[in-house]
Amino acid sequence: MFGRVRSLFRVFTRRRDFEEGMSEELRFHIEQYTDDLVRSGMSREKAARVIRAELGSPLNIKADCREAFGVHFFDEFRRQLSYAVRLLRKTPAFTVTALLTLAVCFGANLTIFAVIDSVLLRPLPFPEPDRLMMIFNTYPKAGVDRDGSSLTNYYERRGRIPALASLSIYSYGTEIVGEPGSTERLQTMRVSADFFSTLGLGPAIGRTFTDEETTYETDQVAILSDAFWRQRYNADPGMIGKQIRVNSVPRTVIGVLPPSFRFLSSDARVFLPLASRPEERAPSRRHSGGNVIQMIARLQPDATLTQAQSEIDAQNAALEVDDPQAKMIADAGFRSLVVPLRADHVAAARPTLLLLEAGVLVLFLIGAVNLVNLLLIRASARIKELAVRQALGAGWRYLVSEVVVETTLLTFAGGLLGLAVGAGGIQLLRGLGADRLPLGSHTVFDARLALVGLVAAIVMGIVFALPVACFHLRRHLGNALQSESRGGTGGHGAQILRHSFLVSQIALAFVLLAGAGLLGLSLQRVMAVSPGFQSDHVLTGQILLPWADYSEAGRLKFAESLMDKLDHLPGVLSAGVVNNVPFSGNIGKSATTIAGHVRRPGESARGHYSYGVAGDYFRAMGFVLREGRFLAADDSRRSERVCVVDEDFARYYWPHASAIGQRLWDGSEAGKDAEGFTIVGVVGGVKQAGLTENEAQGAIYYPYAFRIGDSVFVAVRTSLPPESLALTLQKVVRQIDADVPVSDLRSMDIRIADSLVARRSPALLAGLFSGVALLLTSIGTYGVLSYAVAQRRREIGLRMALGAQPGQIRVQFLSLSLRLLIVGTVLGLIGAWQAGRAMRSLLFQVPPLNVAVLAGATCVTALVCLAACLLPSQRAARISPMETLAEE
Amino acid sequence: MSKTAELLPGTLDMLILKAVSLKPLHGYGVLLRIRQISNDALEIPQGSLYPALYRLEHHNLIASEWGQSENNRRAKFYTLTPAGRRRLRDETAGWNRLARAIAAALNTTSEEV
């Protein structure tokens, strides 16, 4: 076998040597033989004749030799390739249509596949990633589905869960890094000492954190990402031991991560120890996760998820025995769930991606069916030629390989174009927010993708060749010659095949169109939802104040002086500060205790959105005042504690009475009387995380002094276009503190629009896909109808000669396409119904079977298909009887 | 012509291997050698000779090399490869078995039945 390949290779590379050698060898043979014959007394002429008779034609011998040596295969391939190129160039309309169809279909599929590959398929870049788990607390009955894990959870579980080989915690954050004057705000992660060993991938140089470094005061160390080390420190090999400033505090660099280190979607540049004080790890803090700290674990090699889950359940149950809050926790439906890390991380993106993959596959199917149909029509046009060649002795193997070469050439070229379309498509998807998907920024157009595309192209070519080859081989030779010469209507079976392909194309396009319609309608309904505040003309930005530079009092002063400066700016109508604006992407709910509220049976403590506000936040955001008053600037400094709640909160606790004057405590237990807050106002409910949230969880707004966090958002209502105020806002902040940058500067309108990207982009893509599908379907309809007309020219000519009117002919073809259209639409309706059911979870206030969408899809499909048959029908009606009959 | 016999199918390869096994030969030499060793009793179809040589070379049973002919012309000489030698041995043994069996069958007399 090896020898064969080697000799083939040798021949392929030294083809000319082979041919020359063969000629020389034969010449030598003839000359020697001639000499011998002449020596035996024959004349030269006679000798030449004898040799010719005995040897046969040198050309035939050479052909036989090539075949014997395995060279003929390449010759034949080359011949068939150039024949295919000639044929394709003879029919440019077909070739261009086919290539564009293939390019679009391959490109769209490669694009979506690239995203699916990076988000759903490619394993996480850690050893044995399947053993990595995420563990989080959930309190479903308190309205808190996900609360991260607490420090207490971590220190209680560490080393005590046998099914886990390693357990660690982390939190995301942003810190100000750099020397005064050249600071920048960077993504960071705080991690426990065993974080890197849980993942199985640690620093490339230096070391990881130690347990001692996860305690306050001894945590002044940092690990850098490879990218940060290269960009900021020029890949300084002596970086270990040097100091960098993080939030104005110097830290010693102890390690640099390898370039391949990427934790989920995080773009963290600096890793710090997740340090805590012993009291933060106390049992009383067990349920204070607040979705800030997350827990990951690596299973033991032989352990299962179920095992780990039951061990954690058992430990939780044992710990709750002497917990004073045990009843409340149990009422809230508390559990700590163990889920696979990767699946958990991409769970939200999965249904949309699968939907898009389905859409793009349908598009591919339409394109493929379209091409097969066009190829079959093309094959019918060549029936006579092939029949003649078969009659003249062309073997079926040869004809089949000719067809395969032609279709594969076509699909391969289409595949190459598709690679270009795919590369562009990935750029387009980035613009549509694909890099904001979990793991979506890993989406790349690489050699692996190109290989997948080209292999698929070759397979497609072979698949396309099958029906065409069958079509040619199944036909009886004589039959083909006869039917064509008499101008018959061609095989009935072939016609049924063509028509059913067209019907399925119409049906599939209909399904795509209806699906896109459902998504579009959902998007429209979502956009019609009011966020609960006036989102226009509001600019917001996030400001991070380092704890090292700002005490709680300092933070309050910062907020107040910022408000003071902003209020005096021209163009600013009102300005306010808040821990977290709606649609910022951060959500956290806190437990609240209401004075005098007796829980109904089965009711647990509820988590509510809790904010601290300063300045004129409510007016800046355009909140509606339902009752009482907004918070005032001096509420932060008054001894009497007051707060404002939203109407959802008020309605939940006091459905039949006013909330004004009621008292509550921030926390899961009633505190001292002086620490209680009196409700002084009720504002309208607002959407916190997204327009589609249907659960009104209720929100509480405290004066800023009572709820100070590490970052604040500033909100400014302006009479100008909000973006035009961005520079001014940054300048004002820098005037107060030159080292504090404003980040995430976006108007509220943009924040809301950005929150819709997960709906808008799929709707847009589905619209794009269905547009292409309709185009392909119209091409298919046009092709099939044109062929039907061309095939029946003589019949039409004859009928017109016998008195048929052009109108009758036109109606005949239009009614044929109408019949196909109706069957296709009915099938499409069934498909659309199923597709709607499958995508129910992605719809918003739209039933899977929406009459308007289906009616719209029917109209559009009908219009496009009928428009596509007008031209061929018209052509049929204009056939001249004289010409067609004279052709025979 | 009466004293020459048609080649049985498949025997040309065997004869070529035999001819080449005695001494490296060019194509024409193979033809002459087969005539010589069969005492002119076998007629070689010359049109099939070269395809057979190329096939044997492709299957690695013979190897070729350019050299000088007796009258100082450039010619391609074929030699037997180890694989070819094995094949020749097997085919010779097979052929002999077959020939003996057929001869025995044809020599059977009525008494022996």
Which one is predicted more confidently, A835 or B113?
A835
Report the pLDDT value the prediction gives residue B8, as an integer from 0 to 100: 73
pLDDT in tens, A748-770: 999 998 888 888 888 998 999 99
DSSP per-residue letters across chain B:
-TT-BPPPTTHHHHHHHHHHHHS-EEHHHHHHHHHHHTTT-B---HHHHHHHHHHHHHTTSEEEEEEE-TTS-EEEEEEE-HHHHHHHHHHHHHHHHHHHHHHHHHT--GGG-
Quick one: which H or E segment has residue A739?
none
Nearest CA distance, B40 vs chain A (angstrom): 16
How confident is the prediction for chain A on average, in pLDDT?
87
With 50 as the cut, is the pLDDT of residue A486 above it?
no
User: Cβ contacts (< 8 Å) between B58 and chain A: which residues?
Assistant: 4, 7, 68-70
pLDDT in tens, A709-726: 777 899 999 998 998 899
Domain count, chain B: 1
Percentage of residues in chain A having pLDDT higher than 90: 43
Burial (CB < 10 A; 0-12, 13-18, 19+), residue A588, is: middle
The residues with which A628 forms a beta bridge, in sequence order, are: A681
CB atoms within 10 A of CB A59: 8
Residue B1 included in any domain:
no
With 70 as the cut, is the pLDDT of residue B1 above it?
no
Q: Do A28 and B69 touch (CB under 8 A)?
A: yes
Report the pLDDT value the prediction gives residue A827, as an integer from 0 to 100: 95
Q: Residue A800 and residue A55: Cα distance in Å, rounded? A: 63
Q: Do A69 and B74 touch (CB under 8 A)?
A: no
Report the pLDDT value the prediction gives residue A344, as an integer from 0 to 100: 92
Q: Residue A786 and residue A425: Cα distance in Å, rounded? A: 33
Candidate ranges A274-288, A515-529, A575-589, B25-39; pick with highest mean pLDDT:
A515-529
Residues sharing a CB contact under 8 Å with residue A853, sequence separation 6 or more, in sequence order: A514, A517, A518, A521, A846
Question: ∠A454-A456-A461 over CA atoms, to 5°?
Answer: 95
Quick one: which H or E segment has residue A713?
strand A711-718
Question: ∠A81-A82-A85 over CA atoms, to 5°?
Answer: 90
Closest residue by Cα to residue A531 from A667, A685, A683: A685
Q: Which of A30, A69, A74 is the mutation pick for testing B, counting most B CBs within 10 A? A: A69
Candidate ranges A334-338, A600-604, B2-6; pick with highest mean pLDDT:
A334-338
Q: Do A25 and B76 touch (CB under 8 A)?
A: yes
Task: Name the residue among A25, A33, A68 with its Cβ closest to that of B58.
Answer: A68
Report the pLDDT value the prediction gives residue A169, as an integer from 0 to 100: 95
Q: What is the CATH number of the domain that holds B41?
A: 1.10.10.10
pLDDT in tens, A208-230: 999 999 888 888 999 999 999 99
Q: Residue A66 and residue B51: Cα distance in Å, rounded? A: 8
Task: Name the residue among A24, A65, A70 with its Cβ closest to that of B50.
Answer: A65
Q: Give mean pLDDT, residues A296-319.
A: 94
Closest residue by Cα to residue A28 from B14, B3, B102, B70: B70
With 90 as the cut, is the pLDDT of residue B3 above it?
no
Question: ∠B69-B71-B75 over CA atoms, to 5°?
Answer: 25
DSSP per-residue letters across A550-574:
--HHHHHHHHHHHHHHHHTSTTEEE
Residue B26 included in any domain:
yes
Percentage of residues in chain B having pLDDT higher than 90: 25
Tell me the C-alpha to C-alpha distance, in Å, between residue A845 and each of A459, A742, A849: 42, 38, 12
Residues sharing a CB contact under 8 Å with residue A380, sequence separation 6 or more, in sequence order: A471, A490, A494, A787, A791
Report the pLDDT value the prediction gives residue A337, as an integer from 0 to 100: 95
Q: Residue A248 and residue A213: Cα distance in Å, rounded? A: 19
Q: Do B28 and A68 touch (CB under 8 A)?
A: no
Residue with token string 């309205």: A143
- Give the residue on A whose Cα is nearest the Cα of B60: A3
Report the pLDDT value the prediction gives residue A321, as an integer from 0 to 100: 85
Q: Tell me the longest C-alpha to C-alpha distance in chain A.
A: 138
pLDDT range class, residue A467, cuts 50, 70, 90: confident
Q: Give mean pLDDT, residues A182-195.
A: 89
Report the pLDDT value the prediction gives residue A601, as an integer from 0 to 100: 64
Q: Residue B50 and residue A23: Cα distance in Å, rounded? A: 11
With 80 as the cut, is the pLDDT of residue A14 above it?
no
Tokens representing residue A783 in the block: 């092709």
Residue with token string 């058992």: A314
Q: What is the rounded end-to-end Cα distance, in angstroms, of chain A?
A: 56
Q: Give mean pLDDT, residues A301-326.
A: 90
Q: Which of A14, A25, A60 is the mutation pick for testing B, counting most B CBs within 10 A? A: A25
User: Cβ contacts (< 8 Å) between B57 and chain A: which residues?
Assistant: 7, 69
* Torsional sign, CA A28, A34, A37, A39: negative
Q: Residue A325 and residue A862: Cα distance in Å, rounded? A: 65
Q: Residue A390 and residue A394: Cα distance in Å, rounded? A: 5
Q: State residue A138 phi and psi, 5-degree precision.
A: -135, 140
**In angstroms, what is the C-alpha Rg of chain A?**
38
Report the pLDDT value the prediction gives residue A488, as an integer from 0 to 100: 42
The residues with which A610 forms a beta bridge, in sequence order, are: A700
Residue B48 included in any domain:
yes
Tokens representing residue A237 in the block: 């090999």
Q: State residue A609 phi and psi, 5-degree precision.
A: -65, 125
pLDDT range class, residue A793, cuts 50, 70, 90: confident
Residue B73 included in any domain:
yes
Closest residue by Cα to residue B43 from B77, B12, B10: B12
pTM (global) more than 0.80:
no
Q: Do A60 and B57 touch (CB under 8 A)?
A: no
Q: Are A331 and A86 within 8 A, CB to CB?
A: no
Nearest CA distance, A400 vs chain B (angstrom): 26
Q: Residue A413 and residue A444: Cα distance in Å, rounded? A: 22
Strands A205-206 and A249-256: antiparallel
What's A71's DSSP letter? -
Q: Is A37 touching B (CB cutoff 8 A)?
A: no
Q: State residue B76 phi and psi, 5-degree precision.
A: -95, 120
Tokens representing residue B1 in the block: 């012509």
Lowest model confidence (mean pLDDT) among A9-18, A99-108, A329-338, A783-792? A9-18
Q: Are A824 and A507 within 8 A, CB to CB?
A: yes
Which one is predicted more confidently, A653 or A884?
A653
Q: Which of A32, A57, A71 is the mutation pick for testing B, counting most B CBs within 10 A? A: A32
Q: Are A611 and A705 within 8 A, CB to CB?
A: no
Q: B101 lies in which domain range?
A: 11-112
Q: Are B49 and B26 within 8 A, CB to CB?
A: no
Which one is predicted more confidently, B112 or A456?
A456
Q: Residue B38 and residue B87: Cα distance in Å, rounded? A: 20
Report the pLDDT value the prediction gives residue A307, as an integer from 0 to 100: 95
With 50 as the cut, is the pLDDT of residue A798 above it?
yes
Burial (CB < 10 A; 0-12, 13-18, 19+), residue A534, is: middle
Nearest CA distance, B2 vs chain A (angstrom): 17
With 90 as the cut, is the pLDDT of residue A741 above it?
no
Q: Give mean pLDDT, residues A523-543.
A: 92
* Torsional sign, CA A378, A383, A386, A388: negative
Question: ∠A603-A604-A605 over CA atoms, to 5°?
Answer: 130
Tokens representing residue A885 in the block: 């009959």
Q: Do B47 and A29 touch (CB under 8 A)?
A: no
Report the pLDDT value the prediction gives residue A418, as an integer from 0 to 100: 94
With 60 as the cut, is the pLDDT of residue A485 above it?
no
Q: Are A335 and A138 within 8 A, CB to CB?
A: yes
Look at phi and psi of residue A395 and say left if phi exceeds 0, alpha if psi is from -120 to 50, else beta.
beta
Q: Residue A296 and residue A132: Cα distance in Å, rounded? A: 7
pLDDT in tens, A91-128: 888 899 899 999 999 999 999 999 999 888 888 999 99
- Within A792-847, where are the H helices? 793-801, 806-838
Report the pLDDT value the prediction gives residue A598, as an integer from 0 to 100: 78
Q: Give mean pLDDT, residues B58-68.
A: 88
Q: Give mean pLDDT, residues A837-856.
A: 90
Residue B34 included in any domain:
yes
